[in-house]
Amino acid sequence: AYVITQPCIGTKDASCVDVCPVDCIHPGPSDEGYDEHEQLYINPDECIDCGACEPACPVTAIFEESAVPAEWKSYIKINADFFQGA
Ligand code: SF4
Ligand code: F3S
């Protein structure tokens, strides 16, 4: 699956949402004020690895799971956890 990482925080350009063919990119609970990782998230169970979102992001926040830079590896779990209903 593809993963959204730190550069999305504070940017949330949302161009990725428009290009995703399966609508698996979802906004975080930004209106509720408790999400320190205020960003959008990719549902790893729905992502079909088409790659369309990666070049659409103006701040290069999106990476294929195996290509996430070392300092942002934690975002693989952050994206997945968002869809666990926590
Ligand atoms: Fe959506 Fe494709 Fe990006 Fe997965 S890789 S989140 S399916 S646009
Ligand atoms: Fe975030 Fe980039 Fe999408 S800033 S909302 S991952 S286009």
Q: Mean pLDDT score of the chain, rounded to an integer?
A: 90
Pocket of ligand 2 contains residue 3 by CB under 6 Å? no
At 28, the pLDDT band (50, 70, 90 cuts) reads: low
Residue-wise pLDDT for 1-11, tens only, equals 999 999 999 89
Residue in the structure block whose two tokens are 């103006």: 58
Determine the pLDDT at residue 31.
Answer: 53
Rounded-to-integer distance, Cα 17 and Cα 86, Å: 22
Domains of the chain: 2-82 (3.30.70.20)
Ligand positioned closest to the Cα atom of 21: 1
Dump pLDDT digits (tens) for 34-76: 455 589 999 999 999 999 999 999 999 999 999 999 999 999 9
**Which atom of ligand 1 lies closest to the CA of 20?**
8
30 Cα–ligand 1 center, Å: 22
* Ligand 1 center to 82 CA (angstroms): 16
* Helix%, strand%, coil% for the chain, nearest 5: 35, 15, 50
Compute, in angstroms, the gap from residue 47 CA to the centroid of ligand 1.
5
